[in-house]
Amino acid sequence: MIKEVVLGKLNDLDYCYASIVLLEELEKVSYARNERLRQFHEKVHARQSFVAAALAMILPVIVWIYLLTSKASIFDAKTFAVLGPRVVGVLMITALLFLIPYSFLHMVWCQPFLRSFRRIFESVLRANLINDVKKIDAQATDIVTKDVFIEERVPESYLSVEFLTLLVRYFECGQATFMKEALYELKMELENTGYYSSSNTRETLLQREKAYLADEKRNLELMIEKEEGIHE
């Protein structure tokens, strides 16, 4: 559990430490959501493969039943020299009769016109996923609405573990006494070195979580569809 703190009693260094702890917790929550989505997709793909394999087996089974029960069976051969090539030929044809529909079913599975069928097929798994993600999102909401993230002591673009660790270093090394000084040092370091340039331009975890939670139901659907390779 994250301990509640009285924001007004936090000095700037403690504020940075508190923010780091919360962001680390938020990272765990974000990972838990992604992991739950991964488990959902694994189960869906397993079911999809099973159904595709079962349907693709129908034609090969019919062919084998016909060949084994036909009066003029191709297996009626007295020598292996004759029987061997026939068996190999039938096995190759059977493999093709399985692989072609199996591949076709996988190809069309993610097409938009099958969306209604997919929702029926995935209904139970999807309901369990939504219930689990709701609990995870509640934890994320609790974190992003903490006072340390509401008070504008540090710009939101700097509210990452990486940048806050730099601010802590400035305080502990005596380079800064107040937050404005630490932020100035950070700005100078970002401008004068290319080491943190990629971090400075990309969206932070906190910003991504806030954007997701702004419409979590819709964004969850988008995450599911993105993973399934659905493109409108």
In a domain, 44, yes or no: yes
Instruction: State the residue range of the domain holding 140.
Output: 7-54+114-228
Residue 100 lies in a domain: no
Residue 160 covered by a domain: yes
171 has a pLDDT exceeding 90:
yes
Tokens of 217: 């139901």
* 55: Cβ contacts below 8 Å, ≥ 6 apart: 101, 105
Specify if 196 maps to a domain.
yes
Q: Is position 178 within any domain? A: yes
Q: Is pLDDT at 161 greater than 90 in this prediction?
A: yes
In a domain, 62, yes or no: no
Distances (CA, A) of 105 to 138, 144, 157, 207, 229: 38, 43, 45, 39, 15
Percent of the chain predicted with pLDDT > 90: 47
Please report the pLDDT score of residue 169 as a whole number: 95
Which of 10-14, 192-196, 199-203 is most confident?
10-14
Q: What is the pLDDT of residue 79?
A: 65
186 with 167: CB under 8 angstroms? yes
Lowest mean pLDDT among 138-147, 196-205, 214-223: 196-205
Q: Does residue 109 form part of some domain?
A: no
DSSP 231: -
Mean of all residue pLDDT scores within the chain: 84
Residue 23, pLDDT score: 97
- The 10s digit of each residue's pLDDT in 116-130 is 777 787 888 999 999
Q: What is the pTM of this model?
A: 0.76
Least confident stretch, 25-29, 37-41, 64-68, 96-100: 64-68
The helix (H) or strand (E) run that includes residue 12 is helix 12-56
How many domains does the chain divide into?
1
* pLDDT (average), residues 94-122: 80
Residue 157 domain-assigned (yes or no): yes
